[in-house]
Amino acid sequence: MKKIGIYGGTFDPIHHGHLILSRQACEEHGFDELIFVPAALSPFKKTTAQASGELRLEMLRAAIQGQKDFIADDCELKRPPPSYSIDTVLQIRERDPNAQLFWLIGADNVAGLNKWHRFEALEKLVKFVVLDRGRAANAEHHYPVVRRNIDISATDIRNRVASGRSIRYLVPQAVEEIIRREKLYLESAT
């Protein structure tokens, strides 16, 4: 049976922490492919993404270029916000009805999982896998964990850009080039 990992998020911007844990999750869980899904607007974020959906998708595609098992999917950017995971899973399930689906979630989001839109239905459709970069308080849960201490965050990257500091080695070079070309993250460091 085909195993598909789904990693939804703002990816504002995608960085090496996302990519390292994604690769590790593929290896540990035997995913045949991992689908990255940038959110149009998370129902839990107080502010919208600083980069447009199109630019976040461009950065994501640049970051995973050449990785045949990594796929960027713009399904949430095509739907009206907010982005609900259940809708994404149903769309992927329709395309691949026999696949076993896994939803990758950051450890910092586990405590609020029960507040997700139609969580009970979602939990029946996917197996959750927690990505722990060693940054969040440990919430009690029964999900498998992919763990690696990686002190990289999109917030820090945006702050570094806004203050004129280097982001080299934090994001793939192609992502840094898009950030510089589009003059992203210069105005606000939140």
In a domain, 135, yes or no: yes
What does the pLDDT look like over 12-34, one tens digit per residue? 999 999 999 999 999 999 999 99
**Mean pLDDT across the stretch 118-141?**
88
Total tally of structural domains belonging to the chain: 1
**CA 79/CA 44 separation, integer angstroms:** 17
Strand partners for 7: 36, 104
Residue 107 lies in a domain: yes
> Residue length, the chain?
190
Residue 64 falls inside a structural domain: yes
Q: Is 165 part of any domain?
A: no
Segments forming the whole domain that contains residue 90: 3-151
pTM of the entire structure? 0.93
**Does residue 167 form part of some domain?**
no
Averaged pLDDT, 165-176 = 98
The CATH code of the domain that includes 49 is 3.40.50.620
- Tens of pLDDT, residue by residue over 30-84, are 999 999 999 987 666 656 679 999 999 999 999 999 999 999 999 999 998 888 9
**pLDDT band at residue 189, thresholds of 50, 70 and 90?**
low
